[in-house]
Amino acid sequence: MAQNQITELSTELKPNMDVLKTSLHNLMKSAGVSFKQNSTVDSVATKPGPDVAVPSFERSLEEFSHNCDALLYELKQRRQALVLAQYSVIMPCDPKMNYNQYKSLAKSHDVRVQELQGILTRLKSELSQSDDQNMAT
């Protein structure tokens, strides 16, 4: 079952990876153009700029960094979703169980709910911190 989740995750993240590859390609192209321009300036003969419209290196680097951050955020969200899914399975009570079994099951439910509450509280804190950081930039 874990293999199916990994396959699903890789299929769902493929568009993000394609964007990241394109962004890296543009970054490298911009770096090449910048290197060529700097080499031209350093040489005696100056040549006109490149014929192809290539975004500046700084812009390409910023875009690549943004795409990496977006992918990292997506991966964190998916990991948290898997953790939450793990805690969402709660066994129902069997009407034929004795009191001690019921008490044990109720305690395990309580522990799961407390762990889930801790995860949700931590997620809320992380999201509010990331929102605050995004607003500051």
Residues in CB range of 24: below 8 A, 6 or more apart: 64
pLDDT of residue 63: 86
pLDDT of residue 30: 84
pLDDT of residue 119: 84
Q: Using CB atoms within 10 A of its CB, is residue 54 exposed (0-12), middle (13-18) or buried (19+)?
A: middle
Distances (CA, A) of 96 to 93, 100, 102, 107, 109: 9, 12, 10, 18, 18
Model confidence over 11-55: pLDDT tens digits?
Answer: 777 787 788 888 888 888 888 888 877 777 666 555 555 555 777
Token couple for 47? 């040549």
Helix (H, G, I), strand (E, B) or coil at 7: helix
Domain boundaries, the chain: 1-89, 90-137
